[in-house]
Protein backbone atom coordinates (compact mmCIF):
# COMPACT_ATOMS: atom_id res chain seq x y z
CA UNK A 1 0.00 0.00 0.00
CA UNK A 2 1.22 3.45 -0.88
CA UNK A 3 2.40 5.32 2.22
CA UNK A 4 1.91 9.00 2.95
CA UNK A 5 4.00 11.17 5.23
CA UNK A 6 2.77 13.93 7.45
CA UNK A 7 5.21 16.75 6.77
CA UNK A 8 4.14 18.54 9.93
CA UNK A 9 0.75 19.41 11.33
CA UNK A 10 -0.78 22.63 10.04
CA UNK A 11 -4.22 24.17 10.11
CA UNK A 12 -6.24 24.18 6.90
CA UNK A 13 -7.35 27.77 7.55
CA UNK A 14 -3.73 28.82 7.16
CA UNK A 15 -3.77 27.07 3.78
CA UNK A 16 -6.68 29.31 2.87
CA UNK A 17 -4.80 32.37 4.08
CA UNK A 18 -1.74 31.40 2.04
CA UNK A 19 -3.82 30.77 -1.07
CA UNK A 20 -5.65 34.07 -0.68
CA UNK A 21 -2.35 35.92 -0.23
CA UNK A 22 -1.07 34.40 -3.46
CA UNK A 23 -4.27 35.29 -5.32
CA UNK A 24 -3.81 38.85 -4.11
CA UNK A 25 -0.56 38.99 -6.05
CA UNK A 26 -1.70 37.16 -9.16
CA UNK A 27 -5.32 38.22 -9.70
CA UNK A 28 -6.21 41.86 -9.24
CA UNK A 29 -9.93 41.11 -9.44
CA UNK A 30 -9.84 39.08 -6.25
CA UNK A 31 -11.33 40.96 -3.30
CA UNK A 32 -11.82 39.71 0.25
CA UNK A 33 -14.61 40.43 2.71
CA UNK A 34 -14.48 39.49 6.36
CA UNK A 35 -16.99 39.68 9.22
CA UNK A 36 -14.69 40.52 12.12
CA UNK A 37 -12.65 37.30 12.02
CA UNK A 38 -9.63 38.36 9.98
CA UNK A 39 -7.14 36.66 12.29
CA UNK A 40 -9.16 33.49 12.72
CA UNK A 41 -9.51 33.14 8.95
CA UNK A 42 -5.82 33.97 8.37
CA UNK A 43 -6.72 36.79 6.02
CA UNK A 44 -4.17 39.18 7.58
CA UNK A 45 -1.58 38.87 4.83
CA UNK A 46 -4.07 39.69 2.07
CA UNK A 47 -5.36 42.59 4.15
CA UNK A 48 -1.85 43.95 4.76
CA UNK A 49 -0.79 43.67 1.14
CA UNK A 50 -4.04 44.83 -0.49
CA UNK A 51 -5.91 47.08 1.93
CA UNK A 52 -7.92 48.60 -0.93
CA UNK A 53 -9.25 45.17 -1.86
CA UNK A 54 -10.03 44.07 1.70
CA UNK A 55 -13.49 44.89 3.07
CA UNK A 56 -14.09 44.64 6.80
CA UNK A 57 -17.85 44.47 7.17
CA UNK A 58 -18.09 43.99 10.92
CA UNK A 59 -20.31 41.42 12.58
CA UNK A 60 -22.85 41.58 9.78
CA UNK A 61 -22.71 38.42 7.71
CA UNK A 62 -25.92 39.01 5.77
CA UNK A 63 -24.62 42.32 4.49
CA UNK A 64 -21.29 40.66 3.67
CA UNK A 65 -22.91 38.05 1.42
CA UNK A 66 -25.08 40.66 -0.30
CA UNK A 67 -22.12 42.97 -0.84
CA UNK A 68 -20.09 40.11 -2.26
CA UNK A 69 -22.88 39.39 -4.74
CA UNK A 70 -22.93 43.07 -5.72
CA UNK A 71 -19.17 43.22 -6.17
CA UNK A 72 -19.28 40.52 -8.84
CA UNK A 73 -21.19 43.10 -10.88
CA UNK A 74 -18.14 44.96 -12.10
CA UNK A 75 -16.01 41.85 -12.49
CA UNK A 76 -14.67 41.33 -8.98
CA UNK A 77 -14.14 37.86 -7.53
CA UNK A 78 -15.16 38.17 -3.88
CA UNK A 79 -13.93 35.75 -1.22
CA UNK A 80 -15.96 36.00 1.98
CA UNK A 81 -14.48 34.77 5.23
CA UNK A 82 -16.09 33.80 8.50
CA UNK A 83 -16.82 30.64 10.50
CA UNK A 84 -18.74 27.88 8.73
CA UNK A 85 -21.81 28.40 10.89
CA UNK A 86 -22.01 32.10 10.08
CA UNK A 87 -21.11 31.43 6.44
CA UNK A 88 -24.08 29.18 5.78
CA UNK A 89 -26.99 28.73 8.17
CA UNK A 90 -26.99 32.33 9.34
CA UNK A 91 -27.12 33.68 5.80
CA UNK A 92 -28.86 30.90 3.92
CA UNK A 93 -31.45 33.04 2.22
CA UNK A 94 -28.90 35.68 1.26
CA UNK A 95 -26.78 32.98 -0.38
CA UNK A 96 -29.81 31.37 -1.97
CA UNK A 97 -31.24 34.49 -3.60
CA UNK A 98 -28.38 36.96 -4.06
CA UNK A 99 -25.63 34.42 -4.84
CA UNK A 100 -26.87 31.02 -6.01
CA UNK A 101 -30.10 31.92 -7.82
CA UNK A 102 -28.48 35.07 -9.18
CA UNK A 103 -25.53 32.97 -10.42
CA UNK A 104 -22.92 35.22 -8.83
CA UNK A 105 -19.22 34.40 -8.78
CA UNK A 106 -18.85 34.51 -4.99
CA UNK A 107 -16.46 32.26 -3.05
CA UNK A 108 -17.86 31.55 0.41
CA UNK A 109 -14.88 30.49 2.49
CA UNK A 110 -15.66 28.91 5.82
CA UNK A 111 -13.34 28.04 8.66
CA UNK A 112 -14.00 26.30 11.97
CA UNK A 113 -16.29 23.74 10.37
CA UNK A 114 -17.49 20.72 12.29
CA UNK A 115 -16.78 19.51 15.81
CA UNK A 116 -13.06 20.14 15.80
CA UNK A 117 -13.19 23.83 16.49
CA UNK A 118 -13.42 22.27 19.93
CA UNK A 119 -14.02 24.12 23.15
CA UNK A 120 -16.40 26.78 21.80
CA UNK A 121 -19.07 24.09 21.68
CA UNK A 122 -22.18 23.39 19.65
CA UNK A 123 -23.24 26.98 18.96
CA UNK A 124 -20.24 27.23 16.67
CA UNK A 125 -19.83 23.60 15.57
CA UNK A 126 -21.93 23.44 12.45
CA UNK A 127 -22.48 19.90 11.17
CA UNK A 128 -25.14 20.79 8.62
CA UNK A 129 -23.33 23.18 6.30
CA UNK A 130 -22.43 20.71 3.54
CA UNK A 131 -26.06 19.70 3.28
CA UNK A 132 -27.26 23.31 3.23
CA UNK A 133 -24.82 24.28 0.50
CA UNK A 134 -25.07 21.20 -1.70
CA UNK A 135 -28.83 21.61 -1.95
CA UNK A 136 -28.43 24.97 -3.69
CA UNK A 137 -28.57 24.58 -7.49
CA UNK A 138 -25.29 25.60 -9.12
CA UNK A 139 -23.29 25.66 -5.90
CA UNK A 140 -19.90 23.92 -5.88
CA UNK A 141 -19.05 22.41 -2.48
CA UNK A 142 -15.45 21.69 -1.49
CA UNK A 143 -14.06 20.34 1.79
CA UNK A 144 -10.29 20.15 1.74
CA UNK A 145 -8.13 17.72 3.70
CA UNK A 146 -4.93 19.55 4.62
CA UNK A 147 -2.94 22.77 4.40
CA UNK A 148 -1.51 22.13 0.93
CA UNK A 149 -4.82 21.11 -0.58
CA UNK A 150 -6.65 24.05 0.98
CA UNK A 151 -4.11 26.46 -0.47
CA UNK A 152 -4.38 24.83 -3.90
CA UNK A 153 -8.19 24.81 -3.76
CA UNK A 154 -8.32 28.48 -2.78
CA UNK A 155 -6.28 29.35 -5.83
CA UNK A 156 -8.26 27.01 -8.10
CA UNK A 157 -11.71 28.33 -7.22
CA UNK A 158 -10.75 31.83 -8.37
CA UNK A 159 -10.55 30.39 -11.88
CA UNK A 160 -13.94 28.71 -11.63
CA UNK A 161 -16.82 30.91 -12.77
CA UNK A 162 -19.68 30.40 -10.30
CA UNK A 163 -20.51 30.24 -6.63
CA UNK A 164 -18.34 28.02 -4.45
CA UNK A 165 -18.52 26.92 -0.83
CA UNK A 166 -15.02 26.14 0.47
CA UNK A 167 -14.97 24.44 3.87
CA UNK A 168 -11.96 24.07 6.12
CA UNK A 169 -11.14 24.05 9.81
CA UNK A 170 -9.39 25.28 12.88
CA UNK A 171 -7.22 22.43 14.24
CA UNK A 172 -3.74 21.55 13.09
CA UNK A 173 -3.96 18.36 11.08
CA UNK A 174 -1.54 16.20 9.09
CA UNK A 175 -0.21 17.90 5.97
CA UNK A 176 0.45 15.13 3.47
CA UNK A 177 -0.72 16.06 -0.02
CA UNK A 178 2.04 17.17 -2.42
CA UNK A 179 2.71 20.90 -2.28
CA UNK A 180 2.63 21.18 -6.06
CA UNK A 181 -0.50 19.09 -6.62
CA UNK A 182 -2.91 20.97 -8.85
CA UNK A 183 -6.44 21.15 -7.50
CA UNK A 184 -9.07 19.91 -9.91
CA UNK A 185 -12.63 20.74 -8.87
CA UNK A 186 -14.83 17.64 -9.00
CA UNK A 187 -11.96 15.19 -9.55
CA UNK A 188 -11.45 12.68 -6.77
CA UNK A 189 -7.91 11.74 -5.76
CA UNK A 190 -7.29 8.05 -5.30
CA UNK A 191 -4.70 7.66 -2.54
CA UNK A 192 -4.35 3.90 -2.15
CA UNK A 193 -5.32 0.90 -4.21
CA UNK A 194 -7.34 -1.85 -2.59
CA UNK A 195 -9.73 -4.68 -3.35
CA UNK A 196 -11.67 -5.35 -0.17
CA UNK A 197 -13.27 -2.04 0.74
CA UNK A 198 -13.54 1.50 -0.61
CA UNK A 199 -13.10 4.31 1.89
CA UNK A 200 -14.29 7.65 0.59
CA UNK A 201 -13.37 10.51 2.91
CA UNK A 202 -13.50 14.27 2.85
CA UNK A 203 -11.78 16.98 4.88
CA UNK A 204 -9.26 16.00 7.50
CA UNK A 205 -10.89 12.58 7.82
CA UNK A 206 -8.92 11.67 4.70
CA UNK A 207 -5.82 11.37 6.89
CA UNK A 208 -7.78 9.30 9.41
CA UNK A 209 -8.86 7.06 6.53
CA UNK A 210 -5.20 6.54 5.55
CA UNK A 211 -4.35 5.61 9.14
CA UNK A 212 -7.28 3.19 9.15
CA UNK A 213 -6.11 1.67 5.87
CA UNK A 214 -2.69 0.96 7.42
CA UNK A 215 -4.30 -0.82 10.35
CA UNK A 216 -6.53 -2.77 7.99
CA UNK A 217 -3.52 -3.75 5.92
CA UNK A 218 -1.88 -5.19 9.03
CA UNK A 219 -4.95 -7.40 9.35
CA UNK A 220 -4.72 -8.48 5.72
CA UNK A 221 -7.50 -6.21 4.43
CA UNK A 222 -6.75 -4.01 1.43
CA UNK A 223 -8.58 -0.69 1.44
CA UNK A 224 -8.89 1.76 -1.43
CA UNK A 225 -8.83 5.27 0.01
CA UNK A 226 -10.26 8.07 -2.08
CA UNK A 227 -10.07 11.74 -1.21
CA UNK A 228 -13.37 13.33 -2.22
CA UNK A 229 -12.47 16.98 -1.75
CA UNK A 230 -15.38 18.07 -3.93
CA UNK A 231 -18.75 16.95 -2.63
CA UNK A 232 -20.57 18.72 -5.43
CA UNK A 233 -20.14 18.05 -8.28
CA UNK A 234 -19.38 14.56 -7.02
CA UNK A 235 -16.90 12.38 -8.92
CA UNK A 236 -19.43 9.60 -9.44
CA UNK A 237 -17.22 7.69 -11.87
CA UNK A 238 -14.41 7.35 -9.37
CA UNK A 239 -16.78 6.06 -6.68
CA UNK A 240 -18.56 3.60 -8.97
CA UNK A 241 -15.30 2.28 -10.44
CA UNK A 242 -13.89 1.62 -7.00
CA UNK A 243 -17.04 0.02 -5.60
CA UNK A 244 -17.30 -2.16 -8.71
CA UNK A 245 -13.98 -3.61 -7.58
CA UNK A 246 -14.42 -3.70 -3.78
CA UNK A 247 -18.18 -4.26 -3.48
CA UNK A 248 -18.61 -2.10 -0.38
CA UNK A 249 -17.89 1.39 0.88
CA UNK A 250 -17.29 3.48 3.98
CA UNK A 251 -17.90 7.22 3.75
CA UNK A 252 -16.19 9.50 6.26
CA UNK A 253 -16.89 13.14 7.02
CA UNK A 254 -17.03 15.60 9.90
CA UNK A 255 -20.70 16.34 9.28
CA UNK A 256 -24.16 15.07 10.03
CA UNK A 257 -24.95 11.83 8.18
CA UNK A 258 -28.14 13.57 7.06
CA UNK A 259 -27.24 15.75 4.11
CA UNK A 260 -23.54 15.07 3.92
CA UNK A 261 -21.11 13.26 1.64
CA UNK A 262 -22.42 9.87 2.72
CA UNK A 263 -25.91 10.60 1.47
CA UNK A 264 -24.59 11.86 -1.84
CA UNK A 265 -22.61 8.64 -2.26
CA UNK A 266 -25.63 6.54 -1.26
CA UNK A 267 -27.69 8.20 -3.98
CA UNK A 268 -25.05 7.47 -6.60
CA UNK A 269 -24.88 3.83 -5.55
CA UNK A 270 -28.67 3.47 -5.37
CA UNK A 271 -29.05 4.87 -8.87
CA UNK A 272 -26.28 2.76 -10.38
CA UNK A 273 -25.10 -0.24 -8.38
CA UNK A 274 -26.34 -0.64 -4.82
CA UNK A 275 -23.67 -1.78 -2.38
CA UNK A 276 -23.35 -1.97 1.42
CA UNK A 277 -22.30 1.35 2.93
CA UNK A 278 -21.29 2.45 6.42
CA UNK A 279 -21.41 6.09 7.44
CA UNK A 280 -18.66 7.71 9.50
CA UNK A 281 -20.41 10.96 10.41
CA UNK A 282 -22.28 12.47 13.31
CA UNK A 283 -25.66 10.84 13.75
CA UNK A 284 -28.18 13.69 13.80
CA UNK A 285 -26.77 15.36 16.88
CA UNK A 286 -25.32 18.67 18.00
CA UNK A 287 -21.75 18.76 19.26
CA UNK A 288 -20.35 19.93 22.59
CA UNK A 289 -17.21 21.43 24.15
CA UNK A 290 -14.05 19.36 24.27
CA UNK A 291 -10.66 18.97 22.64
CA UNK A 292 -10.72 18.01 18.97
CA UNK A 293 -9.28 14.56 19.74
CA UNK A 294 -11.84 13.93 22.47
CA UNK A 295 -14.68 14.97 20.19
CA UNK A 296 -13.44 12.85 17.27
CA UNK A 297 -13.31 9.87 19.63
CA UNK A 298 -16.67 10.47 21.31
CA UNK A 299 -18.54 11.08 18.04
CA UNK A 300 -16.82 8.22 16.21
CA UNK A 301 -14.94 10.20 13.58
CA UNK A 302 -11.37 8.89 13.87
CA UNK A 303 -9.20 6.20 12.29
CA UNK A 304 -10.35 3.59 14.74
CA UNK A 305 -14.00 4.22 13.91
CA UNK A 306 -13.24 4.05 10.19
CA UNK A 307 -11.38 0.76 10.63
CA UNK A 308 -14.29 -0.77 12.55
CA UNK A 309 -16.77 0.45 9.94
CA UNK A 310 -14.65 -1.09 7.17
CA UNK A 311 -14.60 -4.48 8.89
CA UNK A 312 -18.34 -4.29 9.44
CA UNK A 313 -19.19 -3.32 5.86
CA UNK A 314 -17.01 -6.09 4.41
CA UNK A 315 -19.08 -8.62 6.37
CA UNK A 316 -22.25 -7.18 4.79
CA UNK A 317 -21.12 -7.95 1.26
Alpha-carbon distance 29 to 161, whole Å? 13
Q: 14 vs 105, which CB is nearer to other proteins?
A: 105
Q: Does 47 bind other proteins (CB under 8 A)?
A: no
Binding segment toward other proteins, per CB under 8 A, in 89-97, 181-189, 196-204, 292-300: 89-97
Binding-site residue total for other proteins (CB under 8 A)? 32
Smallest distance, Å, CB 100 to other proteins?
Answer: 9
Which residues lie below 8 Å from residue 317, measured CB to CB, with a gap of 6+?
Answer: 247, 248, 275, 276
Smallest distance, Å, CB 56 to other proteins?
Answer: 9
Q: Does 75 bind other proteins (CB under 8 A)?
A: yes
Q: Does 98 bind other proteins (CB under 8 A)?
A: yes
Find the radius of gyration of the CA atoms of the chain: 19
Q: 98 vs 125, which CB is nearer to other proteins?
A: 98
Alpha-carbon distance 307 to 214, whole Å? 9
Binding segment toward other proteins, per CB under 8 A, in 47-55, 116-124, 202-210, 251-259: 47-55
Smallest distance, Å, CB 231 to other proteins?
Answer: 23
Smallest distance, Å, CB 41 to other proteins?
Answer: 19
Q: 160 vs 187, which CB is nearer to other proteins?
A: 160
Alpha-carbon distance 39 to 77, whole Å? 21
Q: 56 vs 222, which CB is nearer to other proteins?
A: 56
Smallest distance, Å, CB 78 to other proteins?
Answer: 8
Residues in contact with other proteins, shown as a per-residue x/- string from 16 to 35 under the rule CB under 8 A: ---------------x----
Catalytic residue, chosen from 45, 61, 159, 237, is: 61
Smallest distance, Å, CB 87 to other proteins?
Answer: 15
Asked if 278 is an active-site residue, the reply is no
Residues in contact with other proteins, shown as a per-residue x/- string from 54 to 73 under the rule CB under 8 A: -x-xx-x-xxxxxxxxxxxx
Q: Does 312 bind other proteins (CB under 8 A)?
A: no
* Interaction site with other proteins (CB under 8 A): 31, 52-53, 55, 57-58, 60, 62-76, 78, 93-94, 96-98, 101-104
Catalytic positions: 61
Amino acid sequence: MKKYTDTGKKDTRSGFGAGLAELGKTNENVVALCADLTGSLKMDEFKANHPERFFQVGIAEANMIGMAAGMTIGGKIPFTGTFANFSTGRVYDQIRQSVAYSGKNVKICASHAGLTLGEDGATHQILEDIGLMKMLPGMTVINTCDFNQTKAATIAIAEHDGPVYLRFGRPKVANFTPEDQKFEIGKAVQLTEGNDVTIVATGHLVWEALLAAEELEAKGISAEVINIHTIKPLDEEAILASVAKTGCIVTAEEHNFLGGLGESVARVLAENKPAPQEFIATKDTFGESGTPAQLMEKYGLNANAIKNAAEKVIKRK
